[in-house]
Amino acid sequence: MSLSHSDNLHLMKTCARICDVKYLGERNLLISFEDGLQRELTFHANWQGITEQLNSNDFLALVEINPVTKTLSWPDGIDLDAEILHGDFDPSGGSFFSVVSEEIISSL
């Protein structure tokens, strides 16, 4: 089954986009999404390869929002898929974070 052009546009509009992030310490990030979902995530220290720097608390604290893709990013080109952080999909490479809490704040 293929999607129509209007279906594709609807999917593009409903993709998870991050509007705010705060490093809380203790490897926790508070992430707010444009749809009003807010999740606190604890990042595990089991990253490998190009993302291995995320094992460092100091590096994890350098988190920013990519202004184009609206996902989390760090220096050296590391970025994480907003749909996975939002909970829409499971990460393909293993468990790299746990959900501490989540709530709907408002629809932004």
Domains in the chain with CATH codes: 5-104 (3.30.2020)
Kindly state the greatest CA–CA separation across the chain. 46
pLDDT of residue 62: 98
pLDDT of residue 107: 55
10 pLDDT exceeds 70? Answer: no
pLDDT of residue 94: 75
Q: Where are the extended beta strands (E) located within 34-96? A: 37-43, 64-65, 72-74, 78-80
Average pLDDT over residues 8-12: 44
Q: Which residues contact 4 (CB under 8 A, 6 or more apart)?
A: none
pTM of the entire predicted model: 0.83
Q: Tell me, rounded to whole angstroms, the distance of Cα 91 from its chain centroid.
A: 11
**What per-residue string of b and e applies to 52-71 under the rule 16 or more CB within 10 Å gives b?**
eebeeeebbeebebeeeebb
Residue 6 CB coordination number (10 Å): 8
Q: Mean of the per-residue pLDDT values for the chain? A: 87
pLDDT in tens, 17-63: 999 999 999 999 999 999 999 999 999 999 999 999 999 999 999 99
* pLDDT top residue among 10 and 74: 74
Average pLDDT over residues 67-78: 94
Q: Which residues contact 39 (CB under 8 A, 6 or more apart)?
A: 30, 31, 33, 85, 86, 87, 99, 100, 101, 102
